[in-house]
Chains A and B, each alone.
Chain A
Amino acid sequence: EVQLVQSGAEVKKPGESLKISCKGSGYRFTSYWIGWVRQMPGKGLEWMGIIYPDDSDTRYSPSFQGQVTISVDKSINTAYLQWSSLKASDTAMYYCARRRSGGSRFDSWGQGTLVTVSS
């Protein structure tokens, strides 16, 4: 069974750093891109960026370029999303999802990681 399991909810203060994870299982991890999607409270889905685990090729949405870093450790089938200095506006649910090749088909999603940034 294909599974993407994300790390647990986080509560952080503004200015702190954070790295959340997404571990894939049940499929060949290096053959699928892993994308990250933000959903702010009561709002829609926003595509943040994507990484190909086999060679770490990474693409970012212009809206998120420079704001976050996407990385991967293919030895443990895990992708990451990190912030160096959180803001209150980063409060959101973050989902990872896999994509087979080019295109927009995200066929399996993680359960989501809720990040709350508050002083």
Chain B
Amino acid sequence: QSALTQPASVSGSPGQSITISCTGTSSDVGGYNYVSWYQQHPGKPPKLIIYDVSNRPSGVSNRFSGSKSGNTASLTISGLQAEDEADYYCNSYTSSSTVVFGGGTKVTVL
């Protein structure tokens, strides 16, 4: 199974909105509504911010939202803040009953 495809980096100014894409195949992203997104700050474990494409865990800011169209899922961060500067990873359930991660996207707040 190949890693899901994410852009290496995305940047934006405070207050702006940015979108990170996560492209897979019909055997993973396109085949199931089981895409999750994680935020990872340096030296810390990942933190779940979106699950099942568009659901937010309790306590996660509503500035984070998720969606999916075909084989591509997306994470949107609105009202970008300095604390949002981190690495972001998507993952998806697969037809082999395994899980695959994306390569990760570094978000820079200008």
Interface, chain A (partner B; CB < 8 A):
35, 37, 44-47, 49-50, 59-63, 95, 97, 102-107, 109-112
| Contact call A47/B45, Cβ cutoff below 8 A | no
B77 interfacial by beta-carbon distance below 8 Å: no
B93 interfacial by beta-carbon distance below 8 Å: yes
Interface residues of B in 1-57 (CB under 8 A from A): 1, 3, 32, 34-36, 38, 40, 45-48, 51-52, 57
* Residues of chain B with a CB closer than 8 A to A104's CB: 34-36, 51, 91-93, 99
Interface, chain B (partner A; CB < 8 A):
1, 3, 32, 34-36, 38, 40, 45-48, 51-52, 57, 87, 89, 91-93, 96-104
Complex CA gap A107/B35 in Å reads 13
| Contact call B101/A46, Cβ cutoff below 8 A | yes
Tell me which of A47, A97, A106 contacts B98 (CB under 8 A).
A47
| Contact call B48/A44, Cβ cutoff below 8 A | no
Since A37-B46, A104-B35, A105-B48 are in contact, a sample of 7 more A-B pairs with Cβ atoms closer than 8 Å, ordered by chain A residue number, is: A35-B99, A47-B98, A62-B98, A63-B1, A97-B46, A103-B36, A105-B36
- Main DSSP-derived SS at the B contact region: strand
Complex CA gap A110/B44 in Å reads 10
Tell me which of A44, A50, A60, A110 contacts B45 (CB under 8 A).
A110
Complex CA gap A62/B94 in Å reads 12
A95-B46, A104-B34 given; A44·B89 CB < 8 A:
yes
Tell me which of B1, B45, B52, B87 contacts A95 (CB under 8 A).
B45
